[in-house]
């Protein structure tokens, strides 16, 4: 560690100031669908190197959990919306809704 310099290690967080979690839980979804969703969500995270760090894990209940950190709010928002869109498409065959922003 260098004094007066932010560490870039994930373990020390460094400049990764934005944190998000996505929990998708449900016992009505088959294991094959969870596996496909897991692969899609992991691919979305891998497409954003240097913008977000994250991972997909399996909780004790049927479902998936995504934890991610980002260096900027726009990067976090864009990634979270891509993850949410994938969940809606795979689980319910629905597009992401158009949210009104004022």
| Position 75 pLDDT exceeds 80 | yes
- pLDDT bin (cut points 50, 70, 90) of residue 100 is confident
In this predicted model, what pLDDT tens digit does every residue of 59-71 receive, in sequence order? 999 999 999 999 9
Domain ranges of the chain: 18-69
Residue whose tokens read 């967080």: 13
Residue 68 and residue 54 in contact, taking contact as beta carbons nearer than 8 Å:
yes
pLDDT score for 52: 96
pTM over 0.85: no
Residue whose tokens read 């969940």: 87
- pLDDT bin (cut points 50, 70, 90) of residue 12 is low
pLDDT score for 24: 98
- pLDDT bin (cut points 50, 70, 90) of residue 11 is low
pLDDT score for 14: 74
Nearest to 78 by CA among 48, 39, 46, 41: 48
Residue 99 and residue 43 in contact, taking contact as beta carbons nearer than 8 Å:
no
Average pLDDT over residues 72-90: 97
Question: H helices then E strands: how many in the chain?
Answer: 2, 3
């Amino acid at each position: 560690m260098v004094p007066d310099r932010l560490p870039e290690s994930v373990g020390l967080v460094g400049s990764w100031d934005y944190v998000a979690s996505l929990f998708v839980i449900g016992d009505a979804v088959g294991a094959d669908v969870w596996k496909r969703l897991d692969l899609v969500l992991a691919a979305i995270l891998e497409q954003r190197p240097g913008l977000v760090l994250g991972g997909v894990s399996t909780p004790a209940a049927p479902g998936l959990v995504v934890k991610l950190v980002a260096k900027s709010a726009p990067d976090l928002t864009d990634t979270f919306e891509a993850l949410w869109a994938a969940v809606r498409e795979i689980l319910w065959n629905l597009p992401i809704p158009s949210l009104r922003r004022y």
